[in-house]
Amino acid sequence: MKSWYTFLLAITSVCAHAAADCPDLSAVDVSEDSVMEFDVLRLGGTLGDTACATPLCDSIAEWERKAPGDEKTTRSAELLDAIRASAAELPSDRPGVSTLNNQLDVWRELLSEADIMTLSTAVWQVDPFRIFGDQEYEIDIQEIFAESCDTSVSSCNDIFETTACVYSHAVMQRRVYVGLLKINRQATIQYLERLNSRWSAFNSGGRSLFPWELWANGAIQAGKGAHRGFVEPPTYQISLLHPSVAVQGEDTSDGSLQAAVVLELIGWYGWRWGGRDGAAMKRPFGGSLILSWDGSDEVGYGAMIHLPKNWSIGATQKKVNGNTETTLLLSVDLGKFLTEEERLRQNLIDKIEPALTF
Amino acid sequence: MTVADTIFLVHGMGHHPEGWHVPVQTAIKKLYGKYKLSRVPFDQRFKIKPISYDSVFRNLVTRWQNDANALGAAAAAVGASEVGRLVGWLRNAGQVDNNFVWTHAADVLLYRLFYTVRQEVKTHVAAEFAREIDSLSASARWSVIAHSLGTAVAHDSLDMLMSGQQEDGSPTGFEARNEQALVIAMVANVSRVLQTAAKAYDSNVKPGRAGQNGRSCRRFLNFRHVLDPFTIPKMFRPDAWPDSTAAANGLYRFVEVNHVHDVNVHDLAHYLKHPGVHIPLFRELAGFSSAVTLEQEAEAHENFKQFGQLSQSVGVRLKEKLESVSPGISEDWKAYREIWDTFIALFD
Which B residues, 119 through 138, put their C-beta within 8 Å of a C-beta on chain A? 119-120, 123-124, 126-127, 130-131, 134, 137-138
Lowest mean pLDDT among A302-316, B25-39, B314-328: B314-328
Domain shared by A231 and A324, yes or no: yes
Domain boundary among A157, A188, A219: A188
Listed in sequence order, the residues at least 6 apart from B324 whose beta carbon sits closer than 8 Å to its beta carbon are: none
* Mean pLDDT computed over every residue of chain B: 92
Q: Is pLDDT of B147 > 80?
A: yes
Confidence of residue A9 (pLDDT cuts 50, 70, 90): very low
Which residues of chain A does B139 touch, with a Cβ-Cβ cutoff of 8 Å? 42, 45, 47-49, 126, 171, 174
Q: What does DSSP say about strands A300-306 and A311-320: parallel, antiparallel, or unpaired?
A: antiparallel
B218 near A CB under 8 A: yes
pLDDT at A227: 79
**pLDDT tens digits for range B85-121:** 999 889 888 887 777 778 788 899 999 999 999 999 9
Which residues of chain A does B134 touch, with a Cβ-Cβ cutoff of 8 Å? 182, 185-186, 189
Q: Are A299 and A319 in contact (CB under 8 A)?
A: no
Q: Are B129 and B157 in contact (CB under 8 A)?
A: yes
**Cα–Cα dist B10/A124, whole Å:** 27
Taken in order A265, A270, A275, A280, the sign of the CA dihedral is positive
Say yes or no: ipTM exceeds 0.95.
no
3-state SS assignment for residue B123: helix
Q: Which residues form the domain of A275?
A: 211-356
**pLDDT tens digits for range A281-320:** 999 999 999 999 998 889 999 999 999 888 899 999 998 8
* Phi and psi at residue A304, to the nearest 5°: -140, 145
Contact B80 A293 (CB under 8 A): yes
Write out the E strands in A16-172.
Answer: 130-131, 139-140
Contact A342 B66 (CB under 8 A): yes
Q: Are A203 and A117 in contact (CB under 8 A)?
A: no
pLDDT at A17: 37
pLDDT at B162: 96
pLDDT at A52: 95
Domain shared by A180 and A282, yes or no: no
Closest CA to A332 of A204, A208, A198, A202: A208
**Cα–Cα dist B29/B46, whole Å:** 10
Q: Is residue A200 part of a domain?
A: no
At A191, the amino acid letter reads Y
Which residues of chain A does B249 touch, with a Cβ-Cβ cutoff of 8 Å? 134
**Cα–Cα dist B289/B271, whole Å:** 21
**Cα–Cα dist A67/A60, whole Å:** 13
What is the enclosing helix (H) or strand (E) of B87? helix B81-88
**pLDDT tens digits for range B248-306:** 999 999 999 999 999 999 999 999 999 999 999 999 999 999 999 999 999 999 999 99
DSSP string, A176-217: HHHHHHHHHHHHHHHHHHHHHHHHHIIIIISS---HHHHHHH
Confidence of residue A335 (pLDDT cuts 50, 70, 90): low
Instruction: Compute the C-alpha angle B75/B77/B83, nearest 5°.
Output: 10
To the nearest whole Å, the CA of B187 is away from the closest chain A CA by 23
Work out the end-to-end distance of chain A between its first and last CA atoms, rounded to an integer number of angstroms: 59
Which of A36, A195, A294 is the closest to B123 by Cβ?
A: A195
Domain shared by A338 and A227, yes or no: yes
Q: Which residues form the domain of B215?
A: 5-345
Q: Is residue A153 part of a domain?
A: yes
Per-residue buried b or exposed e for A40-54, using 16+ beta carbons within 10 Å of the residue's own CB = bbbbbbbbbbbbbeb
Q: How far is CA A125 from the centre of its chain?
A: 20
**Mean per-residue pLDDT for A221-243?**
90
Domain shared by A140 and A40, yes or no: yes
Q: Is pLDDT of B155 > 60?
A: yes
Q: Is pLDDT of A355 > 50?
A: no
Number of domains in chain B: 1
Which residues of chain A does B62 touch, with a Cβ-Cβ cutoff of 8 Å? 339
Lowest mean pLDDT among A28-37, A146-155, A338-347, B85-94: A338-347
* Mean pLDDT computed over every residue of chain A: 87
Contact A171 B113 (CB under 8 A): no
pLDDT at B29: 98
Number of domains in chain A: 2
Q: Is pLDDT of B237 > 90?
A: yes
Q: What does DSSP say about strands B5-10 and B46-51: parallel, antiparallel, or unpaired?
A: parallel
pLDDT at A336: 56
Q: Is residue A113 part of a domain?
A: yes
Domain shared by A171 and A85, yes or no: yes
CB contacts < 8 A, A to B, total 272
Q: Is residue A206 part of a domain?
A: no
Which A residues, 19 through 78, put their C-beta within 8 Å of a C-beta on chain B? 35-36, 39-40, 42-45, 47-51
Instruction: Compute the C-alpha angle B37/B43/B46, nearest 5°.
Output: 70
**Mean per-residue pLDDT for A188-210?**
94
Q: HSE-up of B175 (CA within 13 Å, CB side)?
A: 22
A190 near B CB under 8 A: no
Which B residues, 302 through 341, put their C-beta within 8 Å of a C-beta on chain A? none
Which B residues, 162 through 181, put their C-beta within 8 Å of a C-beta on chain A? 163-167, 170-174, 176-180
Q: Is residue A204 part of a domain?
A: no
Which of A51, A208, A218 is the closest to B115 by Cβ?
A: A218
Listed in sequence order, the residues at least 6 apart from A223 whose beta carbon sits closer than 8 Å to its beta carbon are: none
Contact B4 A43 (CB under 8 A): yes
Listed in sequence order, the residues at least 6 apart from B335 whose beta carbon sits closer than 8 Å to its beta carbon are: B232, B233, B327
Q: Is pLDDT of B214 > 90?
A: yes
A145 near B CB under 8 A: no
**pLDDT tens digits for range A154-171:** 789 999 999 999 999 999
Domain shared by A174 and A67, yes or no: yes
Confidence of residue A344 (pLDDT cuts 50, 70, 90): low
pLDDT at A2: 44
Q: What does DSSP say about strands A300-306 and B142-147: parallel, antiparallel, or unpaired?
A: unpaired
Confidence of residue A113 (pLDDT cuts 50, 70, 90): confident
Q: Are A56 and A82 in contact (CB under 8 A)?
A: yes
Residue of chain A whose Cα is closest to the Cα of B156: A228
Contact A36 B210 (CB under 8 A): no
CA dihedral A339, A345, A347, A352 (to 10 degrees): -170
